[in-house]
Amino acid sequence: MAVENIQQVWLEVVRIVKNRTVHPSLWRALEISTGVTTDEDLFVVGFPPAQFPMSSLLMSSEYKNAIEKAIAEVTDRQLRLRVMEGTSLAEWTMTKRREAVADESRRAAEEKRRIELAAEHTWDGVAEQVSRKYAKTPLRQLPHIRARYLCEAIQIISDGMDKLYDSESPDELSERALARVIEKVATLVELPSPAVALELMRYRQSLGKK
């Protein structure tokens, strides 16, 4: 649809909706709005920044369906109503660019979280968990706080063993990976690594695990 025809199309949509609804505030919002463009399956309508809060009336479930039905009647296309702050095609381009950047940031954050979750199911992930737990522990220089951290780290390692360690017949790689995590915790709490390993064994024995 040519951009120059959009406003005429929108004015016809506004006329149809006003004939079918009795809501002066909605009418006012429709009159303030401007048809901007169609973009794929969107019919884009803009509002001046000062009046943008009024756009919520158009997007309410009570009226959005009626507006989209009128759009379909006028354009003979099934288009979804989209409102924006601004009334020009250039502002729509800027809006899409901002949203693309925001979407990319969100996808990056989701991917980071996915990687973190996946890492929790590897020995490297277990090592990262005990390190993060230590870094987030306040007053960790105090002996009783450090002891508390050790108990929490032991639980994290034990949970990792449940997922990653075959206690019946562990392979050499698993043995070495477990040892590295134990040594990391031992370094953080300034204890000999066999002492940490002993605490781990005692904890698992208390749970009836090997």
pLDDT digits (tens, 9 = 90+) for 112-150: 777 666 555 688 889 999 999 999 999 999 999 999 999
DSSP 43: E
Helices 172-189 and 143-164 meet at what angle, rounded to 10?
Answer: 170
Of 43, 69, 104, which residue is a domain's last? 104
Q: Which domain holds residue 179?
A: 120-206
How many Cα atoms within 13 Å fall on the side-chain side of residue 8?
5
Residue 115 is predicted with a pLDDT of 64
194 located within any domain: yes
Number of domains in the chain: 2
Question: What is the CATH number for 85?
Answer: 3.30.300.180
> What pLDDT score was predicted for residue 120?
56
pLDDT, residue 114, reads 76
Residue 112 is predicted with a pLDDT of 77
Tally of CA atoms within 13 A in the half-sphere of 167 that contains its CB: 12
User: Looking at the structure, do residues 202 and 125 belong to the same domain, yes or no?
Assistant: yes
Report pLDDT for 172: 86
Query: Cβ–Cβ contacts within 10 Å for residue 55, how many?
Result: 20
CB atoms within 10 A of CB 154: 21
- In this prediction, residue 119 carries a pLDDT of 52
* Residue 125, pLDDT score: 87
pTM of the model: 0.54
Residue ranges in the chain whose pLDDT is less than 70: 1-4, 115-121
Task: Please check whether residues 84 and 12 belong to one and the same domain.
Answer: yes
pLDDT at 185: 96
What pLDDT does 61 receive? 86
